[in-house]
């Protein structure tokens, strides 16, 4: 079965602190994709990153970085020098193949990040 676990329900940090959001997944597929989305208070999900299961290189984009480790089935997300604008709910998602042969996403329950000024 496909499953994504985000054990951290809520994290509160002070501005400029670094913060890591954890994501652990389960899948029986050999080829899959992992995603992170940001949901600000407005509600719309904003795509942040997609990672192919064959590519374990870490990725950095500005203050954001992602660490993908197949050995531990984890895809963690780090925000460096956090800012108030980073306050949002962050979702990790896993793309898997359904019985129809089509791909779908399964989402974790999300981590609410509050960055205090």
Partner 1 sequence: DGGITQSPKYLFRKEGQNVTLSCEQNLNHDAMYWYRQDPGQGLRLIYYSQIVNDFQKGDIAEGYSVSREKKESFPLTVTSAQKNPTAFYLCASSVGGDTQYFGPGTRLTVL
Q: Which CB, 47 or 58, lies closer to partner 1? A: 47
Rounded least distance, CB 107 to partner 1, Å: 4
Nearer to partner 1, 93 or 115 (CB): 93
Distance CA 85, CA 103 (A): 32
Q: Closer to partner 1 at the Cβ: 35 or 68? A: 35
Q: How many residues does the chain have?
A: 117
What residues line the site for partner 1 (CB under 8 A)?
Answer: 4, 9, 35, 37, 42-47, 50, 91, 95, 100, 102-105, 107-110
The rounded distance, in Å, linking the Cα atoms of 111 and 117 is 19
Rg of the Cα atoms in the chain: 14
């Amino acid at each position: 079965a496909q499953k994504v676990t985000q054990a951290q329900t809520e994290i509160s940090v002070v501005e400029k602190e670094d913060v890591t959001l954890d994501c652990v997944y389960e899948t029986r597929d050999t080829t899959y994709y992992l995603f992170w989305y940001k949901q600000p208070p407005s509600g719309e999900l904003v795509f942040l990153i997609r990672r192919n299961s064959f590519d374990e290189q870490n990725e950095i984009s500005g203050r954001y970085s992602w660490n993908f480790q197949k050995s531990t089935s984890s895809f963690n997300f780090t925000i460096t020098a956090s800012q108030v604008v980073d306050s949002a709910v962050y979702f990790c998602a896993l793309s898997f193949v359904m019985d129809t042969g089509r791909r779908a996403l399964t989402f974790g329950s999300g981590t609410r990040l509050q960055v205090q000024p």
